[in-house]
Amino acid sequence: MAKYKAAITGIGGFVPETKLTNFDLEKMVETNDEWIVSRTGIKERRIFREPGKASSDMATYAVKELLEKTGTNPEEIDVVICATVTPDMQFPDTANTIALKIGAKNAWGFDLGAACSGFLFGLTTGSRFIESGAYKKVLVIGVDMMSSIINYKDRTTCILFGDGAGCVLLEPSKNEYGFEDADLHGDGSGAKFLNMKAGGSLHPASEDTVKNRDHYVFQDGRPVFKAAVSGMRATTLKVLNRNNITKDDIDWVVPHQANMRIINSLADYLEVPKEKVMTNIERYGNTTAATLPLCLWDYEKKLSKGDKLIFTAFGGGFTWGTVYLTWSYDSN
């Protein structure tokens, strides 16, 4: 048995002001608004264009909002977990850069690179830290500046991704609500379908990797779509059955914002009405590790103490999973 139950006690978010609409993309690649909306549900995405700034800066904006809303002193933060595939640099960890920028002088931190499942994995990891009794305040951040690794001449990927950051504060629950259960998975055989080939130790940066555009996201959409639908369905069903939850018990489904068809497929499979499914993909696109916390950020005022939330995501590699959480405070 866990010593404590971990609860989300605050949310912060940030999306850049600059919008990249489908009509903007029509001028860049062979596509159009109707084609993009019908296949993805995306109408626009946000692009971070502040000279000399990076993922840590978006995360810092989000965290500072959270700290102000919750009245939290940054020096009280024990751990910073940053889920991202677009770190400022290979090292040091972006988590430690964020800690410096927010004034979390007493925190240690690390990056978690599970792609679109990153926040889900980070939420589970941070909750375990709280449950152990070793830490009292853990920041879990999902941030990605996908515009930095997207080829805007590749219509299979450039229509999908945007930039953004979201974060939550985890603390020991003051009631019976909080983190309840998780089912997480990984399958390295999926790497060939969704990856960024160069920049690591296998293919270090070189003239050839730059020339071959190997530092951009590559995606083979069809197998990724099929794996996402089946993976998210299976892991969600497992968590529901393990916790004796029916469709009528669910207050909110918080799905990764990769594709509206995937989201609708999951909602139909669970027989959950669309009004119980958090979506903002039409405005932000796929912000990778930031999609789940940005959903919470957008819907926070609609959440009530005791609400049952089901989070589920699927990411490159492949990675996927589901988290079941009960909401710990009245957000209004």
CATH classification for the domain delimited by 179-326, as one of 3.40.190.10, 1.10.3720.10, 3.40.47.10, 3.40.50.2000: 3.40.47.10
Please report which helix (H) or strand (E) contains residue 128, including its range: helix 118-132
Coil, strand or helix: which one is 329?
coil
Residue 175 has pLDDT above 90, yes or no: yes
pLDDT for 1 beyond 70: no
In the set 22, 82, 96, 116, the catalytic residue is: 116
Cα separation, 125 vs 131, whole angstroms: 10
How much is the average pLDDT of 79-89? 98
Question: What is the average pLDDT across 137-161?
Answer: 97
Q: What is the pLDDT of residues 213-250, one digit of tens each?
A: 999 999 999 999 999 999 999 999 999 999 999 999 99
CB 216: neighbour CB atoms within 10 A?
18
Asked about 256 being catalytic, the answer comes back as yes
- Pair of tokens at residue 82: 């940053």
pLDDT more than 90, % of the chain? 98
Q: What is the pLDDT of residue 331?
A: 83
pLDDT greater than 90 at residue 326: yes
Task: Indicate if the alpha-carbon torsion angle 121, 126, 127, 128 is positive or negative.
Answer: positive
| CATH among 3.40.50.2000, 3.40.50.300, 2.60.40.1660, 3.40.47.10 for 6-172 | 3.40.47.10
Residue 79 pLDDT greater than 80, yes or no: yes
Q: Of 283, 281, 292, 280, whose CA–CA distance to 322 is shortest?
A: 292
Residue labelled with tokens 């089912």:
183
Pairwise CA distance, residues 126 & 143, whole Å: 16
Q: Any catalytic annotation for residue 185?
A: no
Residue 185 CB coordination number (10 Å): 15
Distance CA 210, CA 216 (A): 9
Interval 292-312: pLDDT, tens: 999 999 999 999 999 999 999
Segment 49-67 mean pLDDT: 97
pLDDT at 119: 98
Of the residues 96, 259, 286, 295, only one is catalytic, namely 286
| Structure-derived torsion over alpha carbons of residues 126, 128, 134, 139, reported in degrees to the nearest 10 | 10
**Tokens (6 digits) for 22:** 């489908």
Q: Is the pLDDT of residue 41 over 70?
A: yes
Indicate the residue type of 261.
Answer: R
pLDDT at 2: 72
Average pLDDT score over the chain: 97
For 247-294, what is each residue's pLDDT tens digit?
A: 999 999 999 999 999 999 999 999 999 999 999 999 999 999 999 999
Whole-number Cα distances in Å, 10 to 49, 99, 235, 258, 297: 27, 17, 26, 24, 9
Catalytic residue among 22, 96, 167, 256: 256
Peptide bond into 23 cis (omega under 30): no
> Rounded CA gap, 15 and 238, in Å?
33
Provide CATH 3.40.47.10 ranges for the chain.
6-172, 179-326
Could you give the CA distance from residue 304 to residue 231 in angstroms, rounded to a whole number? 29
Report d(CA 142, CA 248) in Å as an integer: 29
Please say if the pLDDT value at position 332 is more than 80: no
CA distance 120 to 98: 19
Please state the rounded mean pLDDT for residues 160-164.
98
